[in-house]
């Protein structure tokens, strides 16, 4: 992969707990990092269960490795790309050349949404 193939802008979201003005603890997703990526759609499936049609799309994001992205994980981070929030399924580091990082994600484009969006 060449660096000139990183032609799509993505934003990394991080799950945080903040305290509002009256002391309540609120969880929210904050934008913490933005970078260029190569985006590839791996698969798109559509299923129907109890009358609800669900469309799930699997996407691979290839980004340039950085110190921040090395701490990326599926529990506390998501990716915002073209108005959709992608759930991180795995992060694959390139230990040999240490140039790129591959992030496997999924998004539910139709049907019942999860609690995190």
- What is the reported pLDDT for 43? 86
**Can you give the residue range of the structural domain that contains 36?**
3-110
CATH number at residue 16: 2.40.10.270
The full DSSP string for 25-82 is: EEEEEEEEEEEEEEEEEEEEEEEEETTEEEEEEEEEEEEE--HHHHT--TTTEEEEET
Is the pLDDT assigned to residue 117 strictly greater than 50? no
Q: Residue 115: inside a domain, yes or no?
A: no
> How many domains are there within the chain?
1
Model confidence at 115, pLDDT cuts 50, 70, 90, reads very low
The region, left, alpha or beta by phi > 0 then psi within -120 to 50, assigned to residue 111 is left
Q: What is the tens place of the pLDDT at every residue in 39-97?
A: 999 988 888 877 777 888 999 999 999 888 988 989 999 999 999 999 999 999 888 88
Question: pLDDT band for position 20 (50/70/90)?
Answer: confident
Residue 33 lies in a domain: yes
Distance separating alpha carbons of residues 107 and 44, to the nearest angstrom: 10
pLDDT of residue 111: 59
pTM value is 0.80
**Domain membership flag for residue 92:** yes
- Structural domain includes residue 116: no
93 domain residue, yes or no: yes
Is residue 72 in a domain? yes
């Amino acid at each position: 992969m060449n660096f000139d193939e990183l032609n799509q802008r993505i934003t990394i979201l991080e799950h945080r707990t903040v305290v509002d003005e009256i002391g309540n603890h609120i969880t929210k997703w904050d934008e913490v990092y933005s970078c260029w990526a190569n985006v590839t759609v791996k698969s798109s499936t559509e299923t129907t269960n109890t009358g609800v049609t669900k469309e799930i799309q699997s996407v691979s994001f290839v980004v340039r490795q950085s110190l921040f992205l090395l701490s990326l994980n599926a529990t506390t981070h998501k990716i915002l790309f073209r108005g959709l929030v992608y759930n991180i399924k795995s992060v694959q580091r390139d230990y040999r050349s240490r140039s790129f990082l591959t992030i496997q994600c999924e998004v539910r484009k139709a049907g019942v949404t999860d609690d995190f969006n």
